[in-house]
Structure 1
């Protein structure tokens, strides 16, 4: 997970990508692959995407609905 430091700028870090991902989920939940495609331009790879989802999950901002297989805002 990339966090802001002397090595990584804020823009390169995971933290800068959290707000756009949350904004993509404002209207309604969506499947992980769709959410990745919506935010693909700012992400370098799927590892960055999973790191961002992990941070949002731990902070209690998102949840996964197993019935609909969608990521939703809490």
Structure 2
């Protein structure tokens, strides 16, 4: 299934460059296999918004998203 237009490379780069965001990476064999994009401080210093979570298709069902979410909450 192709990505919608708003999830293209330019959108992803803008999200990565956003200073109000935190990016959590999941890696395996020196490759990025997933990420969580979190917007912080939008309402106050104690709030965060999980904007996006992505796991490469080859890794779905392996607990990658669960581990990413646990890292986000712990942080």
TM-score, normalised by the number of residues in structure 1: 0.32
Structure ranking higher on relative contact order (CA contacts 8 Å, 6+ apart): 1
Greater fraction strand: 2
If you compute each CA radius of gyration, which structure gives the higher value, 1 or 2?
A: 2
Greater fraction helix: 1
